[in-house]
């Protein structure tokens, strides 16, 4: 078999893979990307994009209903059809997937459909619909992503027991939904389903919802969800789901150990993700892993020279933007080694300045060192807060639940981290992220004039609170 020869081959066309491939081609490398599914990966097709479309429509639906009722309009929802909402989410996903395919072609990246495996140093075997293809490459990037994790007792059938993928592809809403796991995915789906009138129950094994976020932010979100009628069990263990006709009975132990049976029409399992590394041939090439994840060093290179890894399969946070940035770092490094282009500015992703966001309402966003981790690591720190209730724009828009929380060095004013919960948090966080990255202080943020009225003023006021003089409303 004659092999196709490239400078750089990427396995996986998700946010880490396609960004790396395009950047590599821009830097003069002959590049191919191998993808066994749809271009864009989980994020564009069955993750970030379609879910945010559903969240957008759920927010409009909920707020519109509330406003009309407040104005005395009687609303009859008996004819509500979820179908157009679902179709809009698929249209958004399809448009972006086609857009990525266009960008790959425009940037002269070869797209090869099939399943890839590593058969030797610099050699990739691809099994496609039209047969086998062999590729040779000076450098290889693994960006194969992840899939929903299967929990014993809750195996997916995508009819009654759904993965996040299955739920996004479902054109109908259940009347009653049990969500196993109150992380970002679980809480986003809980928001969407509750907004569209589904009776939602959420169970989380850990003591609080959104356990990876700031504890104060988690409490605000939980309070809001409970106020909307979402049933939440924290510190609870679900053992299995039992089918009885069209009903699913979830057997649950609550925080006190009391057994509960929750009857629903469907279950959504959102308890972590499993990485896609099976069949890649990592062991034979000596690629080091820890707990299944690929360990990387400088420039995200694995223990096998010339093989790199980014995204969900690595030890970095399983976030699309994390994968994309890491992919750029890899592409620039490979171009430097092969073409002599300028050396990349960073050797690895900056973990502290890598934001996370949860897009339910209220939104949650954060970065850096949390108050809890600062205490645990005995880092000198102080905390400042400003509530949304003190912000004119938030009051005017009746988005009162939320706060900005800063963690900073009390001696230098350096911003160590931040957590924002409330309307627009995922956008507002970047002002503090940039300030911290640029080594600005809370004083610099406090002195910046912010437009009034804007929710961004909460950031300024939190910074002023750090200095002891928050005054604005």
Q: Is 206 exposed, middle or buried (0-12, 13-18, 19+ CB in 10 A)?
A: middle
**Catalytic residue check, 300:** no
- The residue among 270, 265, 263, 153 whose CA lies nearest residue 205 is 270
3-class SS string, the chain: CCCEEEEEEEECCCHHHHHHHHHHHHCCCCEEEEECCCCCHHHHHHCHHHHHHHHHHHHHHHHHHHHHHHCCCCCCCCCCCCHHHHHHHHHHHHHHHHHHHHHHHHCCCEEEECEEEEEECCEEEEEECCEEEEEEEEEEEECCCEEECCCCCCCCCCCCEECHHHHHHCCCCCCEEEEECCCHHHHHHHHHHHHCCCEEEEEECCCCCCCCCCHHHHHHHHHHHHHCCCEEEECCEEEEEEEECCEEEEEEECCCCCEEEEEECEEEECCCEEECCCCCCCHHHCCCEECCEECCCHHHECCCCCEEECHHHECCCCCHHHHHHHHHHHHHHHHHHHHCCCCCCCCCCCCCCCCEEECCCCEEEEEECCHHHHHHCCCCCEEEEEEHHHCHHHHHCCCCCCEEEEEECCCCCEEEEEEEEECCHHHHHHHHHHHHHCCCEHHHHHHCCCCCCCCCHHHHHHHHHHHCCCCCC
Cα separations (Å) of 22 from 109, 116, 441? 7, 19, 36
CA distance 101 to 92: 14
Residue whose C-alpha is closest to residue 239's, from 151, 149, 164: 151
Choice among 231, 452, 469, 472 that is catalytic: 452
Residues labelled catalytic: 452
């Amino acid at each position: 078999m004659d092999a196709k020869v490239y400078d750089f081959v990427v396995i996986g066309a998700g946010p880490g893979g396609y960004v790396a491939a395009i950047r590599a081609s821009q830097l003069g490398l002959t590049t191919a990307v191998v993808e066994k599914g749809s271009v864009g990966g989980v994020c564009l097709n069955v993750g970030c994009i379609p879910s945010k479309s559903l969240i957008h429509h759920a927010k409009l639906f909920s707020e519109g209903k509330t406003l009309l009722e407040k104005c005395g309009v009687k609303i009859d929802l008996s004819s509500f059809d979820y179908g157009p909402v679902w179709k809009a989410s698929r249209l958004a996903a399809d448009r972006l997937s086609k857009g990525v395919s266009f960008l790959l072609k425009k940037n002269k990246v070869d797209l090869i459909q099939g399943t890839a495996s590593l058969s030797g140093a610099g050699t990739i075997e691809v099994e496609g619909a039209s047969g086998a293809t062999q590729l040779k490459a000076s450098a290889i990037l693994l960006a194969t992503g992840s899939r929903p994790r299967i929990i014993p007792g809750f195996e997916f059938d995508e009819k009654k027991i759904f993965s996040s993928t299955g739920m996004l592809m479902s054109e109908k809403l259940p009347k009653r939904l049990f969500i196993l796991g109150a992380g970002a995915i679980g809480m986003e789906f809980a928001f969407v389903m509750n907004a569209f009138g589904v009776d939602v129950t959420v169970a989380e094994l850990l003591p609080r919802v959104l356990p990876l976020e700031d504890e104060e932010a988690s409490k605000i979100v939980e309070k809001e969800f409970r106020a909307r009628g979402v049933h939440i069990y924290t510190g609870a263990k679900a053992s299995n789901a039992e089918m009885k006709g069209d009903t699913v009975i979830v057997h649950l132990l609550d925080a006190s150990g009391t057994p509960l049976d929750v009857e629903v029409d469907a279950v959504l399992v959102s308890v972590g993700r499993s990485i896609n590394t099976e069949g890649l041939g990592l062991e034979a090439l000596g690629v080091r892993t820890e707990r299944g994840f690929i360990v990387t060093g400088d420039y995200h290179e694995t223990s096998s020279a010339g093989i790199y890894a980014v995204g969900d399969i690595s030890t970095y946070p399983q976030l699309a933007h994390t994968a994309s940035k890491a992919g750029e770092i890899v592409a620039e490094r490979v171009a430097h080694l092969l073409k002599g282009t300028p050396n990349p500015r960073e050797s690895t992703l900056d973990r502290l300045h890598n934001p996370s966001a949860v897009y339910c309402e209220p939104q949650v966003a954060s970065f850096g060192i949390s108050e809890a981790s600062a205490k645990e690591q005995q880092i000198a720190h102080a905390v400042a807060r400003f509530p949304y209730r003190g912000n004119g724009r938030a009051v005017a828009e009746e988005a009162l639940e939320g706060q900005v929380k800063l963690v900073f060095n009390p001696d230098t004013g350096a911003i160590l981290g931040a957590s924002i919960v409330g309307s627009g948090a995922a956008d507002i966080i970047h002002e503090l992220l940039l300030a911290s990255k640029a080594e600005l202080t809370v004083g610099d943020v406090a002195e910046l004039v912010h437009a009034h009225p804007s929710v961004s003023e909460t950031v300024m006021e939190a910074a002023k609170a750090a200095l002891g003089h928050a005054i604005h409303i």
